[in-house]
C-alpha cells in the first residue's frame, strides 16, 4: 500500500452499518423468548439438539461477557427480531409456536448513585403495557386494577407512568401508608407507624409479580435488562421474584422470560448473588464468543463497502488486516471499533483514488505501520484515552470534566461547577495546567456567569457528540456517554491517588454550595433536587478521607439522611439503609453526647429500615443501641415497640413478653405479677365485669377522654404484649387475659383513650373464654362505638378489631355464616393498610372459620391457596404450617377417591421440613383435629379416638374459644359412633358423649346459635344407640329433624349433609329403608355433600348406601360440575384447582 500523503480522502468508515455478529446466540435467545409451553425439566443450563445446537431449558438467561463484547448490540438485535412475526422451527427439538411476544427493555446506568433504585425496570415497564394495549383489543385495564387492589398504589409509587397507562382515576389513593406516617424516617411514634413500614418492599415485589402474571394472559412477556452489574439490590430482588415465579407459573397464553447482560459476575456482588440464589433449572449463564479473524474481516468489508467487500469473501489483504486487528483487540468488539477509529484518525486507514484508475476510489491501509501499532502494549482505556488526547484542548477538557462525575448520564448545568476544580487538578506531562474555557472567570454564585459558561461549554460538548464520544438526550443539556469504556478512558486522564480524591471532595463542596443557591438560578439545572443531592453525596464520599472539619462530616451525615429519605419514598429500603450507614460512619466518637439529635435521627431511621427489610436481628441490635443512649421515654418508645414487633415475627413469644413486662416496670412503674397469673386475671375479670354491669352504655361513652400520656403509653405496650401472649401457648395466654383486664381497669380509672376500642374487644374475647357471652356481646358493641374515635389514628387496628369481632361473635347471637364475610372484608382492609402482621396472625382464624361455616370447599380451597401463597412469599413458615393441615384436609375431601386413604394428612412428613410440625403446638393440634374430622366422616372411629387422645389434655377449654364447640361436637360424635359399633366399653364411650352434649346444651341455653343444632344432633345420636332398652323411633327422628331444621337455617352445608346422613343411617337400621325414608334422607345428604363440594363424601355415600338409594328408586340429582349419574353409581368427576402446589409440605 502506498503512503497517503498525496492521496485525497473521500469518506469515512461507516460504523452505522454494523450489526451484532452473534447470530448463533441471537437465535438461541429468540427461541427462548417465543416459547409457549413450560420448558422441559432439566438440571440447569441447556440441552443439545442432535444437530449440535445448544438450546436453553431454563426460563431466564444472563449473558455474561467482558465490557465491549457486544452484549447491548445483541439485545438490540433481539428486540428487532421480537418486533417481527414468529420464528421457524429451524430443526429445534420442540416446536416454537408463533405467539404474541411483548418485550420491555431497560438498562442499568451508573447514575448519580450506584444504588439509585429501580431505574432500568422503571424504564422497561413504560413500554410493556403500551405495547399490550396497542396490539390486543381484549386488554382490560379495569381487570388489572381489580387484580392488584390496594397494591396498585405501591406500584404507582415506583412506576408513576402506570397511572396513565392503566387509566387510574385522579382521585385514586396511591399512598401506601396511613395518615399517621408523615414520611419522616426518624419519627419516634412506636405504635402505629412501625406496622405500616414493615413488608412495604415485600408488597412491592409481589404486586410487581401479579402485574407480570396478568400481562402473560396476552402473550409471552420478555424482560430485557442491560448491565446488571450496575443494578441496585432492590431491583435484583424484583428480578429474582419474577425468575422464581416463572419456574411454576405459566399462563395458557404466555410465559415470562428474563434476559439480562452483565460484565463477568465474579467482580460484581449483586448479579453474582442472583445466580447463587436462583435454582440451576431456572437460570442459565451464557457467554458471548469473541470475534474471530474471519468475523473481523467481514466487519472490515461492511465498514468499507468496496469492491469485493461486504457481499463477497474477504480478500487476502483484508484477512491480513483482520489478523492484526484481532491480535490488537483480542476479539473484543468495542476495542476493535475504537482501534479502527484511531487508525482512521491517524490516516493509517484511508479512502483514496485508485492508482490504476483515477475515476475510482478505494480503501487503503498501511499494513506495516498498523503491525507496528499492534506491538504496542495498550489496554482498551489507553487506546480510547490516546484518541481523546488527540482532540483539541477545549473538547478534551469538556470530556474530562464530564468524566469526573463518574456517571453514565450527566447534565450541563451540574458539571459546569466542576470546571475550576478539574482545571486545577489535571496536569500534563510538562506540569502545565490543562487549558479550560472560563476556568478562571467561573463563579457559581453569579447566575449570569453560570449561564454564559453553560453556553460556551455546551459548544464543546456538541463537538464531542459529533465525534461519537457522547450522546445528547432530551431535554437539551442532558448527555449520555456512548459507552462506559469511553467514560473510564476520559476519567483515566485525571491523575490518580490523592489528587483525584481531593478533586472529588472539591467538586462535592462546589455542588453543596450550589444546592443552597440554586433557587436563584431558575431553570438552569436539568436535574431535580434529589439528583443534585445524590451527585453531591457521590463526590463528597469519594473524598471523605481528606475531610478535616468535623462540621463538614456532620453535614455529610445530614445529607446522607436526606438521601435515605429520598430512597425510602421510592420503596428502595436497601439503598436507604446504605445511606444511613454512611451517615452514621461520618459521626464523631462522642456523637451521642455532642450531637444527640442528629445521632438519634440516624439510628432510629436505620432501625426502621432494618425492620422494613425483616433484618430482625440487626434491627433489635440497633434498637438496643438507641435504648442505651436515649434520654427520655418518648425517644425510646419506637425502639421498645420495634423489639416487641421483632420478637413477634421471630416467634419468640416468651422473650417478647418478658421484655415488655420489664419495660412496664422500669419505664412506667407498672408491676405485673409473675406467679398465679391466671387466677389473678380471672378474679380481676369478674371485678371488672361487675363494674361493667353497673354502668350504662351512655355513662361509659360519656366518660371524658384521658390526656394522661402514661396511661396511653401503658395501653399501647399492653396491646403489644397482648398480641404476643395469644400467639404462644396457654401459659402465655394467661398474661394476655391479665393485661386485657388491666386495660379495662384503666378505662374505669382514667377514662377512655385512642385505643380503648382495642381494650374492649380484648375484654370481649376474655369474656368468651369464661362463658360470659352477655358481657362479650356488650363489650363488642361498645368497642364499635369507640372505634370511630380511634380509626383515623390507628386504621389497621380498627380493621383488626372488626376481624376479632368476627372471631368471637358466633359464640353469641350472630350466625357463623354472617361473620365469614365481615372477616374477609377486615382482612382486605388490613392488606390495603399494609398491616400484614395481623393478616399473618389471623389467617388461621379466618380459614378455620370458612371451613367450620360450611362454605363450599372449592371456595375454601381458593382462600387456603391464596393465604398459603401469601405466607410462603413472606417466609412465614410457622404460620403456613399452622394452616397446612386444614388445606390438605380440604383437598382430600375434594379430590381423592374413596379407594385412596382420604383420612391421611402429610403430618408424618412435616418433621423433615425446615420448620418441624412439633415446633408449633397449634400446627400439631390442627393436624390431630382435622385427622379426627376426616376419620369420623369416613367411619374410622378408632383412629379418630386416637387423634382425640393426642389433642390437648384440657379438651374443653384449651386453645382458641371459637373452635371449642366444633371440637366438642366431633368428639361427642366419635364416641357415639364407637358406642354404636363397638361391643366393649360402650358405657365409657356413652359417658364421654354425654359430657360433650352437656357442654353444648349449656352454651345453647345461653343463646349461642351454633350450639343449638349441635346439642340436638348429639342428643339424637345418644338416644339412637342406647346401651340398654329400646329406641323410641319417633322421638329420635324428631330430634334429628330439629337438628336439620336448625342447621339448615344457619346454612352450614357439611353439617346439613351430616345430619341427613346420620338420620338416614338411623332410619335404615331401624326399618325405614323399606318405606323409602332412609333413601330420602340419604339423597339429601348426598345432595348437600355435592353442594359443599366433597367428591369423596358423595362417592362414599353412594358406595355405602347404594342399595338404600335404589330402594328410593331415584337417581341423585347433583350438580353436573361435581358428579354424573351412571346406572346406580355416582361417578366423581375431576375439577382440580389450577394449582395444588401450595398444599405440599416440604
State the pLDDT at residue 455.
83
| Residue corresponding to grid cell 416487641 | 644
Quick one: which H or E segment has residue 1079?
helix 1077-1092
> Which tops the pLDDT comparison, 195 or 484?
484
516 or 750, which is more confident? 750
What pLDDT sits at residue 419? 80
Q: Are residues 327 and 396 in the same domain?
A: no
Q: Give the pLDDT confidence score for residue 115 in this predicted structure.
A: 45
* Higher per-residue pLDDT: 89 or 601: 601
Place of cell 487476502: 316
Q: What does the alpha-carbon distance between residue 827 and residue 818 come to, in Å, rounded to a whole number?
A: 15
Please determine, for residue 74, whether its predicted confidence score (pLDDT) is greater than 80.
Answer: yes
303 with 282, same domain? no
Do 459 and 597 belong to one domain? Answer: yes
Higher pLDDT, 340 or 1072: 340
Higher confidence at residue 311 or residue 328?
Answer: 328
Which pLDDT score is estimated for 559? Answer: 93
Report the pLDDT value the prediction gives residue 1136, as an integer from 0 to 100.
Answer: 34
Whether 280 and 323 share a structural domain: no
- Judge residue 515's burial from the number of C-beta atoms within 10 Å of its C-beta, 0-12 exposed, 13-18 middle, 19 or more buried: middle
pLDDT higher than threshold 50 for residue 959:
no
Question: E strand or H helix at 48, and its extent?
Answer: strand 46-48
Q: How far apart are CA 344 and CA 321, in angstroms?
A: 13
* 733 or 264, higher pLDDT: 264
Query: Does the pLDDT value for residue 96 go beyond 50?
Result: no
> How far from each other are the two terminal CA atoms of the chain, in whole angstroms?
73
**Buried/exposed 246-263: b ≥16 CB within 10 Å, e otherwise:** bbebbbeebbbbbbbbbb
Residue 755 lies in a domain: no
372 within domain boundaries: yes
What pLDDT does 1094 receive? Answer: 93
Please report which confidence band the pLDDT of residue 1055 belongs to, taking 50, 70 and 90 as the band edges: very high
pLDDT band (50, 70, 90) for residue 625:
very high
Same domain, 308 and 413: no
Report percent pLDDT > 70 for the chain.
77
End residue of a domain, out of 287, 314, 339? 287
Total domains in the chain come to 4
| Residue 519 lies inside a defined structural domain of this protein | yes
pLDDT at 881 over 90: no
Task: Tell me phi and psi for residue 413, to 5 degrees.
Answer: -65, -20
Distance CA 444, CA 521 (A): 10
Residue 962 lies in a domain: no
Inside any domain, residue 855: no
Mean pLDDT of the chain: 78
Is residue 43's pLDDT more than 50? no
Report whether pLDDT(292) > 70: yes
- What was the pLDDT predicted at 915? 44
Q: Using CA atoms, how far apart are residues 786 and 780, in angstroms rounded to an integer? A: 10
| pLDDT over threshold 50, residue 433 | no
Q: How far apart are CA 607 and CA 638, in angstroms?
A: 9
**Of the listed ranges 61-75, 150-164, 404-418, the one predicted with least confidence:** 150-164
Which pLDDT band, with edges at 50, 70 and 90, does 90 fall under? very low
Query: Does residue 601 sit within a domain?
Result: yes
H/E stretch holding 840 reads helix 836-852
Same-domain check for residues 231 and 316: no
Section 668-686 average pLDDT: 83
Q: Kindly give the pairing relationship between strand 60-64 and strand 256-262.
A: parallel
Q: For the chain, percent helix, then strand, then coil, each to nearest 5?
A: 65, 5, 30
Q: Are 101 and 34 in contact (CB under 8 A)?
A: yes
Report whether pLDDT(323) > 80. yes
Is residue 398 in a domain? yes
The predicted pLDDT at position 714 comes to: 86
pLDDT over 90 at 1084, yes or no: yes
More confident residue, 516 or 911: 516
Residue in this structure with the C-alpha cell 448519580, named with its chain if needed: 112
Query: Cα-flanking dihedrals φ and ψ of residue 54, to 5°?
Result: -85, 130
If you average pLDDT over residues 240-250, what whole number do you get? 85
The separation between CA 978 and the C-alpha centre of its own chain, rounded to angstroms, equals: 49
Q: Is 55 helix (H, G, I), strand (E, B) or coil?
A: strand
Of 296-310, 400-414, 433-447, least confident by mean pLDDT is: 433-447
pTM confidence score: 0.76
* Lookup: cell for 370: 498498523
Alpha helices in 315-392 (DSSP H): 316-329, 333-345, 367-374, 380-389
Nearest residue to 662 (alpha-carbon basis) of 684, 685, 636: 636
Residue predicted with more confidence, 456 or 946:
946
pLDDT score for 85: 59
State phi, psi for 138 to the nearest 5 degrees: -85, 0
Q: Do 228 and 84 share a structural domain?
A: yes
- For residues 370 and 497, membership in a common domain is answered with no
Phi, psi of 226 (to 5 degrees): -95, 150
For the ranges 300-309, 542-551, 619-628, the lowest mean pLDDT is seen at 300-309
Reading the block at residue 1032, the C-alpha cell is 323410641
What range defines the domain where residue 538 resides?
383-635
Statement to judge: residues 237 and 120 lie in one domain: yes
Strand order in the sheet with 409-411: 409-411, 478-481, 470-472
Residue 243 has a CB neighbour count (10 Å cut-off) of: 24
Q: For residue range 787-801, what is the model confidence (pLDDT) as tens digits?
A: 777 666 667 667 776
Mean pLDDT of the 642-669 span: 88
| CATH number (domain holding residue 257) | 3.40.50
Q: Which of 235, 270, 287 is the last residue of a domain?
A: 287
pLDDT over 80 (residue 675): no
Q: CA angle 942-944-946, nearest 5°?
A: 75
Average of per-residue pLDDT across 1010-1031: 88
* Residue 404 near residue 503, CB atoms below 8 Å: yes
What radius of gyration do the chain's Cα atoms show? 37
Please check whether residues 443 and 522 belong to one and the same domain.
yes
Give the list of residues 6+ apart from residue 536 with CB closer than 8 angstroms, or none.
508, 511, 512, 515, 559
Answer yes or no: is pLDDT of 859 > 80.
yes
Residues 497 and 592 in one domain: yes
Residue 282 has pLDDT above 70, yes or no: yes
* Segment among 17-31, 113-127, 468-482, 859-873 with least mean pLDDT: 113-127
Mean pLDDT computed over 227-251: 86
Lowest mean pLDDT among 33-47, 213-227, 1082-1096: 33-47
Could you give the residue ranges of the DSSP H alpha helices within 650-729? 653-668, 677-694, 697-701, 709-725
* Top-ranked range on mean pLDDT: pick from 33-37, 99-103, 460-464, 618-622: 618-622
Indicate if the pLDDT at residue 152 is higher than 70. yes
**Whether residue 305 sits in one domain with residue 266:** no
200 falls within a domain: no
- 629-637 long-range contacts, CB within 8 A, separation 24+: 629/592, 629/599, 629/600, 630/600, 631/596, 633/667, 633/668, 633/713, 634/188, 635/188, 635/600, 636/667, 637/188, 637/189, 637/190, 637/191, 637/713
Lowest pLDDT segment from 298-312, 631-645, 838-852: 298-312
Task: Kindly list the distances between the CA atom of residue 561 and the CA atoms of 40, 232, 549, 568, 576, in Å, as whole numbers in the listed order.
Answer: 49, 19, 19, 10, 8
- The residue that leads in pLDDT, 912 or 319, is 319
346439642: which residue's cell? Answer: 1015
Cβ pair 794, 754 in contact under 8 A:
yes
For residues 736, 740, 745, 746, the Cα torsion angle rounded to the nearest 10 degrees is 100
pLDDT band of residue 1076 (cuts 50, 70, 90) is confident
Question: What is the per-residue pLDDT for 1130?
Answer: 34
Residue at a domain's end among 635, 662, 682: 635
What mean pLDDT do residues 1009-1014 have?
A: 88
Amino acid at each position: 500500500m502506498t503512503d497517503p500523503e498525496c492521496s485525497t480522502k473521500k469518506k469515512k468508515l461507516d460504523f452505522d452499518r454494523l450489526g451484532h455478529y452473534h447470530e448463533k446466540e441471537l437465535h438461541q435467545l429468540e427461541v427462548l423468548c417465543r416459547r409457549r409451553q413450560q420448558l422441559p425439566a432439566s438440571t440447569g443450563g441447556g440441552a443439545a439438539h442432535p444437530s449440535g445446537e445448544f438450546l436453553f431449558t431454563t426460563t431466564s438467561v444472563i449473558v455474561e461477557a467482558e465490557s465491549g463484547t457486544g452484549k447491548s448490540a445483541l439485545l438490540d438485535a433481539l428486540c428487532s427480531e421480537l418486533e417481527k412475526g414468529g420464528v421457524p422451527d429451524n430443526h429445534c427439538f420442540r416446536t416454537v409456536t408463533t405467539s404474541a411476544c411483548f418485550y420491555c427493555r431497560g438498562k442499568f446506568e451508573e447514575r448519580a448513585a450506584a444504588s439509585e433504585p429501580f431505574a432500568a425496570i422503571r424504564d422497561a415497564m413504560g413500554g410493556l403495557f403500551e405495547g399490550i394495549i396497542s396490539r390486543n383489543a381484549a386488554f382490560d385495564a379495569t381487570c388489572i386494577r381489580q387484580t392488584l387492589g390496594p397494591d396498585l398504589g405501591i406500584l404507582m409509587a415506583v412506576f408513576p407512568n402506570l397511572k396513565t397507562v392503566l387509566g387510574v382515576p385522579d382521585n385514586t389513593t396511591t399512598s401506601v401508608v396511613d395518615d399517621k406516617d408523615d414520611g419522616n424516617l426518624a419519627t419516634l411514634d412506636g405504635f402505629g407507624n412501625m406496622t405500616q413500614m414493615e413488608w412495604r418492599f415485600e408488597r412491592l415485589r409481589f404486586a410487581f409479580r401479579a402485574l407480570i402474571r396478568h400481562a402473560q394472559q396476552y402473550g409471552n412477556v420478555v424482560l430485557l435488562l442491560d448491565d446488571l452489574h450496575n443494578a441496585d439490590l432492590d431491583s435484583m430482588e424484583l428480578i429474582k421474584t419474577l425468575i422464581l415465579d416463572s419456574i411454576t407459573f405459566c399462563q395458557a397464553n404466555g410465559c415470562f422470560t428474563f434476559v439480562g447482560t452483565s460484565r463477568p459476575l465474579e467482580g460484581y456482588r449483586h448479579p453474582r448473588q442472583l445466580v447463587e440464589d436462583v435454582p440451576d433449572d431456572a437460570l442459565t449463564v451464557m457467554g458471548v464468543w469473541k470475534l474471530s479473524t474471519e468475523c473481523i474481516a467481514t466487519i472490515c468489508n461492511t465498514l468499507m463497502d468496496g469492491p469485493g467487500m461486504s457481499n463477497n469473501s474477504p480478500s487476502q489483504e483484508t484477512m491480513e488486516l483482520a489478523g492484526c486487528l484481532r491480535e490488537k483487540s483480542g476479539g473484543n468488539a468495542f476495542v476493535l471499533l475504537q482501534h479502527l477509529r484511531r487508525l482512521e484518525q491517524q490516516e493509517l486507514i484511508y479512502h483514496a483514488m485508485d492508482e490504476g484508475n483515477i475515476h475510482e476510489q478505494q480503501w487503503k491501509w498501511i499494513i506495516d505501520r498498523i503491525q507496528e501499532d499492534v506491538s504496542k502494549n495498550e489496554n482498551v482505556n489507553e487506546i480510547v484515552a490516546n484518541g481523546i488526547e488527540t482532540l483539541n484542548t477545549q473538547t478534551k477538557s469538556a470530556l474530562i470534566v464530564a468524566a469526573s462525575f463518574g456517571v453514565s448520564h450527566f447534565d450541563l448545568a451540574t458539571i459546569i461547577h466542576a470546571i475550576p476544580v478539574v482545571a486545577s487538578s489535571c496536569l500534563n506531562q510538562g506540569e502545565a495546567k490543562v487549558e479550560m474555557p472560563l476556568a478562571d472567570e467561573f463563579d457559581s454564585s453569579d447566575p449570569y456567569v453560570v449561564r454564559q459558561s453553560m453556553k460556551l461549554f455546551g459548544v464543546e460538548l456538541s463537538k464531542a457528540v459529533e465525534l461519537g464520544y457522547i450522546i445528547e438526550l432530551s431535554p437539551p443539556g442532558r448527555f449520555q456517554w456512548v459507552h462506559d469504556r469511553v467514560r473510564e478512558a476520559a476519567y483515566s486522564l485525571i491523575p490518580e491517588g490523592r489528587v483525584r480524591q481531593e478533586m472529588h471532595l472539591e467538586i462535592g463542596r462546589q455542588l453543596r454550595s450550589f444546592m443552597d443557591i440554586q433557587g436563584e438560578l431558575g431553570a438552569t439545572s436539568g436535574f431535580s433536587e434529589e439528583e443534585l443531592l445524590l451527585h453531591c453525596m457521590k463526590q463528597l464520599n469519594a473524598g471523605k478521607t481528606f475531610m478535616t472539619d468535623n462540621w463538614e462530616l456532620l453535614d455529610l451525615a445530614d445529607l446522607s439522611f436526606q438521601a435515605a429519605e429520598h430512597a425510602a419514598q421510592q420503596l428502595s429500603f436497601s439503598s436507604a439503609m446504605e445511606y444511613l450507614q454512611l451517615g452514621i460512619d461520618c459521626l464523631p466518637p462522642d456523637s451521642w453526647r455532642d450531637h444527640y439529635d442528629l445521632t438519634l435521627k440516624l439510628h432510629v431511621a436505620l432501625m426502621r429500615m432494618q425492620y422494613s427489610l425483616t433484618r430482625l436481628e440487626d434491627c433489635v441490635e440497633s434498637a438496643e443501641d438507641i435504648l442505651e443512649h436515649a434520654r427520655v421515654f418518648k425517644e425510646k418508645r419506637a425502639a421498645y415497640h420495634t423489639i416487641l414487633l421483632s420478637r413477634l415475627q421471630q416467634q419468640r413469644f416468651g422473650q417478647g413478653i418478658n421484655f415488655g413486662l420489664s419495660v412496664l416496670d422500669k419505664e412506667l412503674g407498672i408491676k405485673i405479677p409473675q406467679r398465679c397469673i391466671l387466677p389473678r386475671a380471672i378474679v380481676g375479670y369478674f371485678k371488672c365485669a361487675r363494674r361493667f354491669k353497673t354502668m350504662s352504655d351512655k355513662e361509659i361513652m360519656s366518660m371524658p377522654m384521658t390526656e394522661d400520656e402514661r396511661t396511653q403509653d401503658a395501653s399501647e405496650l399492653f396491646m403489644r404484649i397482648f398480641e404476643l401472649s395469644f400467639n404462644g401457648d396457654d401459659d402465655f395466654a394467661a398474661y394476655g387475659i391479665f393485661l386485657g383486664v388491666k386495660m379495662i381497669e384503666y378505662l374505669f380509672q382514667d377514662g377512655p383513650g385512642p385505643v380503648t376500642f382495642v381494650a374492649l374487644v380484648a375484654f370481649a374475647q376474655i369474656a368468651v373464654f369464661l362463658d360470659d357471652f352477655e358481657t362479650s356481646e356488650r363489650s363488642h358493641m361498645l368497642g364499635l362505638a369507640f372505634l370511630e374515635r380511634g380509626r383515623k389514628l390507628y386504621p389497621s387496628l380498627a380493621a383488626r378489631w372488626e376481624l376479632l369481632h368476627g372471631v368471637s361473635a358466633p359464640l353469641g347471637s350472630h350466625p357463623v355464616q354472617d361473620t365469614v364475610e365481615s372477616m374477609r372484608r377486615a382482612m382486605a382492609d388490613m392488606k390495603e393498610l399494609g398491616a400484614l402482621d395481623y393478616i399473618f396472625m389471623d389467617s388461621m382464624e379466618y380459614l378455620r372459620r370458612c371451613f367450620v361455616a360450611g362454605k363450599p370447599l372449592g371456595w375454601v380451597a381458593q382462600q387456603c391457596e391464596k393465604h398459603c401463597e401469601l405466607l410462603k412469599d413472606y417466609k412465614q413458615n410457622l404460620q403456613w404450617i399452622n394452616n397446612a393441615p386444614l388445606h390438605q384436609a380440604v383437598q382430600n375431601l375434594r379430590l381423592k377417591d374413596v379407594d385412596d386413604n382420604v383420612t391421611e394428612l402429610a403430618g408424618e412428613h412435616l418433621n423433615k421440613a425446615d420448620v418441624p410440625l412439633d415446633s408449633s403446638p397449634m400446627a400439631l393440634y390442627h393436624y390431630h383435629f382435622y385427622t379426627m374430622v376426616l376419620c369420623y366422616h369416613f367411619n374410622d372411629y378408632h383412629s379418630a379416638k386416637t387423634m382425640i387422645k393426642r389433642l390437648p389434655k384440657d379438651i374443653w377449654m384449651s386453645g382458641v374459644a371459637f373452635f371449642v364447640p366444633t371440637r366438642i361436637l366431633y368428639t361427642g360424635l366419635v364416641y357415639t359412633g364407637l358406642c354404636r359399633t363397638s361391643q366393649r366399653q360402650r358405657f365409657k364411650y356413652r359417658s364421654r358423649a354425654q359430657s360433650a352434649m352437656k357442654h353444648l346444651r349449656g352454651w345453647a341455653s345461653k343463646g349461642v346459635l351454633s350450639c343449638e343444632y349441635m346439642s340436638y344432633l348429639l342428643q339424637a345420636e345418644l338416644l339412637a344407640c342406647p346401651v340398654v332398652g329400646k329406641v323410641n323411633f319417633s322421638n329420635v327422628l324428631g330430634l334429628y329433624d330439629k337438628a336439620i331444621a336448625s342447621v339448615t337455617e344457619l346454612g352450614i352445608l357439611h353439617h346439613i349433609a351430616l345430619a341427613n346422613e346420620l338420620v338416614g343411617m338411623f332410619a335404615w337400621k331401624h326399618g325405614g329403608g323399606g318405606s323409602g325414608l332412609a333413601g330420602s334422607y340419604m339423597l339429601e345428604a348426598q345432595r348437600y355433600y355435592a353442594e359443599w363440594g366433597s367428591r369423596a363424601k358423595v362417592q362414599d355415600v353412594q358406595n355405602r348406601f347404594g342399595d338404600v338409594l335404589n330402594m328410593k328408586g331415584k337417581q341423585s340429582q347433583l350438580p353436573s360440575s361435581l358428579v354424573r349419574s351412571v346406572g346406580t353409581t355416582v361417578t366423581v368427576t375431576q375439577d382440580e384447582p389450577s394449582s395444588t402446589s401450595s398444599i405440599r409440605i416440604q
